């Protein structure tokens, strides 16, 4: 087996660039080399070697030594330098790279190959003594930190002392001799902490770093990350060894990061930051404030330091050409790392760039319009769950705001919440239900949980590509970064700015689209859904098979649902209509009545109200099916609580308060969710369903007469377990229809069906389908009844269940495909056997969850029904499931 693949200098052993074998970074270095881009030569040790390394008990096979020697020889040949030879020393970087970028993996080691002799050679050949000693001390510090895992504080302290001694504040003020002296101190720290001198043999250095990369694959952090993200341990990581190029060789050198399009808004404009005379991660570390890439961006920000376009026009031109080549090659927006060494451009990394939902949408639509990708690919590229971000409010431009500072618009969207100054507090207060804004000087990987818990993130340091900015965009959290004017005192839990003080718990608002920071809460407005959003939805609808309906019961819900493209109502819960203040008394009178006669008196009052509800819904949903569920909840939910409520009902019904209270006590249930609810109400009090059915048909006839287009009612009976229940209820409904049609002299087509939300109903679906013309899987209740878990009480233990891998995800959020899913498949199959054209749909939270929607597609259901705001998500997810 070949374990080493070379790249650069006209070589690309990897061929098409296999990510599984070479890791993401290695495959793309190879890919860039293969299309002739300037990549410093190097080689990749494969992920297969990592796997074998662990299988063999953490030793390297002899053959690897030979292959690595071949790899080094390749780099030496291309660069003309020699590894470990003082005359013209080759320096390399050692970089980890799994299939997908993964926290927990070893950080990159730069400048490997320096020792007490080669540093002198480097000084001579570069003509820059200061640069050589600075590089050596950086190397010792990095190697000690990431490979030897020594305490880095001691090194930082030594540097601080060196500066203090000289009265300097900036690293750049230190001279070659200062760095040389510091190298001596650093080596002493290594000797003291490690018990051995800093490795002088460059091959020992190399193998130490290679071993550390493979070792980091099994680090605790990496393991946790893999567990949380379902990444198999067997994948392994690759190691990339690559010739160093230097961005810190004076003012014609630079290093930077860039995106081929704006990752925040998606505009087709190069986007990035760079630093003159700097190395590697100086840009992302936020130590110096980076400069803009383009003149336009600099001017838009009103910044002074020249952009790369202005400061280095030739190299910038070359970089722009590379951006275009990379987009054409990878057919996606790229996130790039580059270095300029004495006017010469080198590419160090490229990958598909992370982006906000807004940018993902715009980039997908633009690229399809540019002909770079197909419309179907565009549909496949946008994460449906991320659309959520776009469907949420932004700050009302007209609302008054008390702006106290301005930073970089690092991740769009607006958020208000209490200021907190550390991630643990953020998590804690979010757990208590507070909206939280996490305020940090800068963030690091240790802040992930706090960022996740927060509604928004605010930092004092760091640019648009800082940790805070990148992670916030990925999570869809609004973020304002680099607010230099914030004086944060995390210990005292406060920040000061412009003579104001904000303490922990004070409410602030951030606008990640403008960079503004405000005191207090600011009003928000609903998003605009035309433009790219509409275009992508249209393309999605072309490939989608599943219909998408909405769960809606108010005229407002129905209007929102239609504007989001719902193709009908999949669940109209009639009980919500009963809570209306104007009619609750009549509802209570009906429930508390002693007999049918008493109930009918109250139901007669409710009939016109209920008819009015349906008229409005049918009008809004003209031409589309509307599934109306008859009364479902346990009656106790409607019972009066307060004395005056009893009095009101007593007066309306003309009975005594004491009698009413006795009746209320009779209705008490120990386990109401499994009690007198659903069709059990209809079986015991058929007059309730009769009234509802009458209201539906009267409304349907009324709308048909008025508008000329007949509504399509689908009357749904809840909580059916047996064929007989449905049969009884269908009679009630059909009789109401017959009566209404006879009275009005007009007939309306309608369906009668049932929810499948009890395991027994799923099992007996074949029989039930003899009566029911459609099934709607009520997966909220079906999950409760199948798992025997109450949704309202599950919070106490479900997280533990998910942590321990008992359920992969919260089964109330994402369908338990294994268990509940099997019941659905079985019911669908048995139902179809009896009635081949039976209409099948799903309602409940799962109807808006992409993974559950994929299951519905695979099971061949006819439609999914989701809450109005999730309708666009469902449309996109359904399209992707069909691709
Ligand atoms: P990460 O995965 O954290 O981005 P990288 O391996 O990309 O780690 O390395 C981080 C930074 O180190 C790069 O952005 C680049 O600036 C610098 N770097 C890596 N290899 C080299 C090299 N051969 N020459 C110069 N700089 C390098
Ligand atoms: Mg890193
Ligand atoms: Mg990188």
Q: 280: CA distance to ligand 1 center in Å?
A: 6
Return d(Cα 551, Cα 539) in angstroms, integer: 24
- In a shared domain, residues 410 and 288: no
Q: Which residues are annotated as a binding site for substrate?
A: 573, 629, 757, 778-781
Determine the Cα angle at 319 with ends 249 and 101, to 5°.
85
Residue 134 has pLDDT above 70, yes or no: yes
Question: Which atom of ligand 1 is least distant from the CA of 95?
Answer: 6
195: tokens are: 């018990």
Q: Residue 287's pLDDT is what?
A: 66
Is the same domain home to 507 and 552? no
Mean pLDDT of 3-20: 92
Residue 472's pLDDT band, with cuts at 50, 70 and 90, is: confident
Q: What average pLDDT does the structure give for the chain?
A: 92
| Ligand nearest the Cα atom of residue 44 | 1
- Cβ of 91 closer than 6 Å to ligand 1, yes or no, is no
Q: Is the CB of 720 under 6 A from ligand 1?
A: no
% of the chain with per-residue pLDDT over 90 = 72
387 part of a folded domain: no
pLDDT score for 440: 96
Domain boundary among 331, 355, 379: 355
> Residue whose CA is closest, atom 20 of ligand 1?
93
Tell whether ligand 1 has an atom less than 6 A from the beta carbon of residue 339: yes
pLDDT at 650: 85
Residue 667 forms part of a structural domain: no
The whole-number average pLDDT for the span 470-475 is 73
Residue 537 sits in the same domain as residue 520: no
Taking only the tens place, the pLDDT of each residue in 61-87 is 999 999 999 999 999 999 999 999 999
pLDDT of residue 454: 94
Please report, for the domain that includes residue 350, its CATH number: 3.30.470.20
Taken in order 569, 574, 576, 580, the sign of the CA dihedral is: positive
Cα distance from N-terminal residue to C-terminal residue, the chain: 37
pLDDT at position 229: 81
Per the domain annotation, does 653 fall within a domain? no
Q: In this model, does residue 605 exceed pLDDT 80? A: yes
506 vs 469 pLDDT, higher one: 506
pLDDT at 556: 81
Which positions ≥6 away from 862 have C-beta within 8 Å?
546, 547, 839, 840, 841
pTM of structure: 0.80
Average pLDDT, stretch 665-670? 86
Mutation choice for ligand 1 from 221, 348, 465, CB with most ligand atoms inside 8 A: 348
Q: Which residues contact 339 (CB under 8 A, 6 or more apart)?
A: 245, 246, 247, 253, 254, 255, 256, 279, 345, 346, 348
CATH of the domain at 628: 3.20.20.60
Q: What does DSSP assign to residue 143? A: I
Structure confidence by residue, pLDDT tens digits, 795-806: 778 878 887 889
Q: How far is the CA of 466 from the centre of ligand 3 (A)?
A: 13
C-alpha 143 – ligand 2 centre gap (Å): 14
pLDDT on residue 803: 78
Q: Are residues 827 and 770 in the same domain?
A: yes
> Minimum mean pLDDT among 282-286, 851-855, 869-873: which range?
282-286
Give the residue from 462, 492, 525 where a domain finishes.
525
Q: Position of tokens 């533990």? A: 800
Do residues 178 and 259 share a domain? no
pLDDT bucket at 793, cuts 50 / 70 / 90 = confident
Asked whether the CA dihedral 279, 346, 19, 259 is positive or negative, the reply is positive
Could you tell me the pLDDT band of residue 230, with boundaries at 50, 70 and 90?
confident
| Residues 559 and 695 reside in one and the same domain | yes
Interval 92-112 mean pLDDT: 92
Q: Residue of the nearest CA to atom 15 in ligand 1?
A: 280
Closest CA to 42 of 95, 99, 88, 109: 95
Atom 16 of ligand 1, nearest CA residue? 280
Q: Phi, psi at residue 151, to the nearest 5°?
A: -70, 115
Pocket test for ligand 1, best of 349, 354, 471 (most atoms within 8 A of CB): 349
The answer on 263 and 238 residing in a single domain is: no
Alpha-carbon distance values, 652 to 587, 666, 827 (Å)? 11, 20, 45
Report whether 438 contacts 457 (CB < 8 A).
yes
| Mean pLDDT on 704-721 | 94
As a whole number of angstroms, the distance between CA 116 and CA 26 comes to 31
Atom 9 of ligand 1, residue of closest alpha carbon: 108
- SS3 per-residue string spanning 812-879: CCCCCCCCHHHHHHHHHHHHHHHCCCCEEEEECHHHHCHHHHHHHHHHCCCEEEECHHHHHHHHHHHH
Query: What is the distance in A from the centroid of ligand 3 to the CA of 349?
Result: 6
Can you give the residue range of the structural domain that contains 310?
Answer: 254-355
Residues annotated as part of the active site: 467, 843
Residue 323 within any structural domain of the chain: yes
pLDDT value of position 557: 84
Q: Which two tokens stand for residue 660?
A: 């009413």
Q: How far is residue 252's CA from residue 342's CA, in Å, rounded to a whole number? A: 5
The pLDDT assigned to 285 comes to 63
Query: Residues 83-110: what's their mean pLDDT?
Result: 93
pLDDT at 588: 87
The predicted model gives 812-840 an average pLDDT of: 96
Ligand 1 near 258 CB (within 6 A): no
Instruction: Judge if the beta carbon of residue 764 lies within 6 A of ligand 1.
Output: no
| Number of domains observed in the structure of the chain | 4
Ligand 1 pocket residue status of 255, Cβ below 6 Å: yes
Q: Is 242 in the pocket of ligand 1 (CB under 6 A)?
A: yes
Across residues 707-716, what is the average pLDDT? 93
For residue 516, give the CATH number of its domain: 3.50.30.10
Residue 19 CA to residue 334 CA, distance in Å, equals 16
Q: Is residue 584 part of a domain?
A: no
Pocket flag, ligand 1, residue 40 (CB < 6 Å): yes
- Is the CB of 467 inside a 6 Å radius of any atom of ligand 1? no
24-40 tens-digit pLDDT: 999 999 999 999 999 99
Q: Ligand 1 mean position to 26 CA, how many Å?
A: 12
pLDDT at 393: 66
Q: Is 108 in the pocket of ligand 1 (CB under 6 A)?
A: yes
Is residue 365 in some structural domain?
no
Question: Of ligand 1's atoms, which has the minimum distance to the CA of residue 247?
Answer: 25
Mean pLDDT over 616-639 rounds to 92
Examine the domain organization and report whether 294 and 425 are in the same domain: no
**pLDDT tier at 660 (50, 70, 90 boundaries)?**
confident
The best mutation among 210, 337, 471 to test binding of ligand 1, ranked by most ligand atoms within 8 Å of the C-beta, falls on 337
Model confidence at 204, pLDDT cuts 50, 70, 90, reads very high
Ligand nearest to the CA of 340: 1
Q: Which tokens in the block code for residue 879?
A: 């399209």
Residue 861 has pLDDT above 70, yes or no: yes
Residue 584 has what pLDDT? Answer: 84
600 lies in a domain?
no
pLDDT digits (tens, 9 = 90+) for 309-326: 999 999 999 999 999 999
CB 703 within 8 A of CB 626: no
Alpha-carbon gap, residue 603 to 526, rounded angstroms: 39
Say which ligand is closest to the CA of 280: 1
Q: Give the per-residue pLDDT at 189.
A: 97
- In the sheet with 109-112, reading across from the earlier edge strand, the strands are 11-12, 4-8, 42-45, 237-243, 92-98, 109-112
Distance 175 CA to ligand 1 centre (A): 25
Cα→Cα distances 527→266, 358, 442, Å: 17, 11, 30
Q: Same domain for 818 and 878?
A: yes
Is the pLDDT at 519 greater than 80, yes or no?
A: yes
Based on the fold, state whether residues 711 and 824 are members of the same structural domain. Answer: yes
By mean pLDDT, which of 332-341, 377-386, 635-644 is the weakest? 635-644
Specify whether 507 is located in the same domain as 537: no
Task: Indicate which atom in ligand 1 lies nearest the CA of residue 281.
Answer: 11
Could you tell me the CA-to-CA distances from 686 to 680, 693, 731, 736 in Å, in that order? Answer: 9, 11, 10, 11
Q: Which atom of ligand 1 is nearest to the CA of 284?
A: 14
What is the CA(24)–ligand 3 centre distance, in A?
A: 11
Do 430 and 328 share a structural domain? no
- pLDDT at residue 668, as a whole number: 86
| 149-163, 424-438, 648-662, 684-698, range with greatest mean pLDDT | 684-698
CB of residue 93 inside a 6 A radius of ligand 1:
yes
Average pLDDT estimate for 500-517: 93
Tens digit of pLDDT for each residue in 529-575?
778 999 999 999 999 999 999 999 888 889 989 988 999 999 999 98
Answer whether 42 contacts ligand 1 (Cβ < 6 A). Answer: no
pLDDT band at 392 (very low <50, low <70, confident <90, very high): low
* Domain-ending residue, one of 525, 546, 580: 525
Q: Which of 40, 92, 95 to mutate to test the pocket of ligand 1 (most atoms within 8 A of CB)?
A: 95
As to burial, measured by CB atoms within 10 angstroms (0-12 exposed, 13-18 middle, 19+ buried), residue 118 is buried
Binding site residues for Mg(2+), as ranges? 757, 781
Q: Supply the CATH number for residue 91's domain.
A: 3.30.1490.20
Please, which pLDDT band fits residue 435 given cuts at 50, 70 and 90? very high
Range scoring the smallest mean pLDDT among 42-51, 342-351, 379-388: 379-388
Q: In this predicted structure, what is the pLDDT of residue 578? A: 84
Q: How far apart are CA 426 and CA 259, in angstroms?
A: 31
Ligand minimally distant from the alpha carbon of residue 113: 1
pLDDT at 801: 87
Q: Is residue 215 part of a domain?
A: yes
Give the closest residue (by CA) to ligand 1 atom 8. Answer: 108
Q: In what order do the strands lie in the sheet with 516-519?
A: 402-406, 516-519, 507-511, 414-420, 436-440, 456-459, 479-481, 408-411
Across 263-272, 285-294, 345-354, least confident range: 285-294
Burial bucket for residue 814 (CB in 10 Å: 0-12, 13-18, 19+): middle
């Amino acid at each position: 087996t070949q374990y080493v693949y070379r790249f650069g200098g006209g070589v690309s052993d990897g061929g098409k660039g296999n990510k599984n074998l070479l890791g993401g970074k290695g495959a793309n270095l190879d890919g860039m080399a293969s299309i002739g881009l300037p990549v410093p030569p190097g080689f990749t040790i494969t992920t297969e070697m990592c796997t074998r390394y662990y299988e063999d008990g953490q030793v390297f096979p002899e053959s690897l030594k030979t292959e690595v020697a071949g790899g080094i020889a390749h780099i030496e040949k291309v660069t003309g330098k020699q590894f470990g030879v003082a005359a013209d020393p080759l320096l390399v970087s050692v970089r980890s790279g799994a299939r997908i970028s993964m926290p927990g993996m070893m950080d990159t080691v730069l400048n490997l190959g320096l020792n007490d002799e080669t540093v002198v050679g480097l000084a001579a050949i570069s003509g820059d003594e200061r640069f050589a000693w600075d590089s050596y001390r950086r190397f010792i510090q990095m190697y000690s930190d990431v490979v030897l895992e020594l305490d880095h504080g001691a090194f930082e302290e030594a540097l601080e002392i060196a500066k203090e001694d000289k009265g300097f504040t900036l690293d750049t003020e230190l001279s070659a001799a200062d760095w040389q002296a510091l190298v001596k101190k650093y080596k002493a720290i290594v000797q003291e902490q490690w018990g051995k001198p800093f490795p002088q043999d460059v091959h020992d250095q190399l193998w130490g770093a290679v071993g550390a990369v493979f070792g980091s694959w099994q680090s605790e952090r990496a393991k946790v990350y893999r567990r949380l993200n379902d990444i198999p341990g067997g994948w392994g990581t690759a190691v990339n060894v690559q010739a160093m190029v230097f961005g810190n060789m004076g003012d014609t050198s630079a290093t930077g990061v860039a995106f081929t399009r704006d990752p925040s808004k998606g505009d087709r404009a190069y986007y990035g930051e760079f630093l003159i005379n700097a190395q590697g991660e100086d840009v992302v570390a936020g130590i110096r404030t980076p400069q803009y890439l383009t003149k336009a961006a600099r001017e838009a920000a009103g910044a002074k330091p020249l952009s790369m376009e202005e400061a280095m026009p030739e190299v910038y031109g070359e970089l722009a050409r590379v951006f275009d080549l990379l987009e054409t090659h990878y057919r996606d927006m790229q996130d790039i790392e580059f270095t300029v060494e004495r006017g010469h451009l080198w590419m160090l990394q490229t990958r598909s760039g992370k982006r906000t939902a807004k940018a993902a949408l715009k980039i997908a639509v633009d690229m399809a319009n540019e002909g770079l990708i197909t419309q179907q690919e565009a549909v496949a590229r946008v994460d449906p769950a991320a659309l959520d971000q776009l469907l949420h409010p932004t700050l009302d431009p007209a609302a008054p705001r008390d702006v106290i500072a301005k930073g970089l618009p690092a991740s769009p969207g607006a958020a208000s919440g209490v200021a907190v100054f550390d991630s643990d507090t953020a998590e804690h207060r979010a757990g208590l239900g507070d909206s939280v804004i996490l305020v940090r000087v800068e963030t690091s990987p240790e802040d992930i949980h706090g960022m996740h818990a927060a509604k928004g993130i605010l930092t004092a340091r760091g640019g648009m590509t800082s940790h805070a900015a990148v992670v916030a965009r990925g999570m869809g959290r609004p973020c304002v970064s680099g607010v230099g004017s914030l004086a944060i005192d995390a210990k005292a839990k406060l920040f000061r700015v412009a003579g104001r003080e904000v303490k922990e718990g004070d409410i602030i608002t951030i606008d990640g689209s403008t960079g503004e920071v405000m005191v207090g809460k600011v009003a928000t407005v609903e998003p605009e859904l035309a433009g790219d959003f509409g275009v992508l939805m249209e393309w999605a609808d072309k490939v989608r098979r599943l219909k998408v309906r909405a769960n809606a019961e108010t005229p407002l819900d129905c209007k929102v649902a239609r504007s989001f493209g719902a193709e009908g109502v999949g669940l109209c819960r009639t009980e919500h209509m009963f809570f209306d203040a104007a009619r609750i008394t009549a509802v209570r009178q009906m429930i508390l009545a002693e007999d049918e006669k008493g109930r009918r008196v109250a139901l007669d009052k409710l009939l016109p109200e209920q008819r009015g509800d349906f008229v409005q819904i049918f009008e809004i949903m003209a031409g589309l099916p509307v599934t109306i569920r008859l009364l479902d909840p346990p009656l106790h939910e409607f019972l009066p609580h307060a004395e005056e409520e009893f009095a009101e009902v007593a007066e309306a019904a003309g009975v005594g308060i004491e009698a009413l209270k006795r009746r209320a006590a009779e209705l008490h249930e120990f386990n109401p969710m499994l009690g007198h609810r659903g069709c059990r109400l209809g079986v015991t009090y058929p007059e309730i369903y009769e009234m509802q059915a009458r209201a539906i048909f009267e409304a349907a006839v009324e709308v048909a007469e008025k508008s000329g287009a007949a509504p399509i009612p689908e009357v749904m009976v809840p909580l059916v377990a047996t064929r007989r229940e449905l049969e009884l209820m269908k009679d009630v409904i059909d009789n109401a229809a017959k009566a209404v049609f006879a009275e009005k002299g007009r007939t309306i087509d309608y369906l009668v069906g049932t929810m499948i939300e009890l395991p027994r109903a799923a099992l007996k679906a074949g029989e039930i389908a003899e009566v029911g013309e459609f099934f709607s899987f009520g997966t909220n209740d079906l999950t409760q009844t199948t798992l025997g878990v109450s949704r309202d009480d599950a919070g106490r233990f479900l997280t533990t269940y998910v942590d321990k891998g008992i359920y992969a995800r919260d089964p109330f959020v994402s369908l338990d495909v294994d268990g509940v899913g099997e019941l659905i498949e079985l019911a669908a199959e048995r139902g179809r056997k009896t009635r081949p054209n039976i209409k099948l749909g799903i309602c409940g939270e799962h109807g808006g969850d992409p993974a559950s929607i994929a299951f519905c597609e695979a099971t061949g259901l006819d439609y999914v029904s989701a809450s109005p705001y999730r309708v666009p998500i469902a449309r996109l997810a359904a399209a992707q499931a069909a691709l």
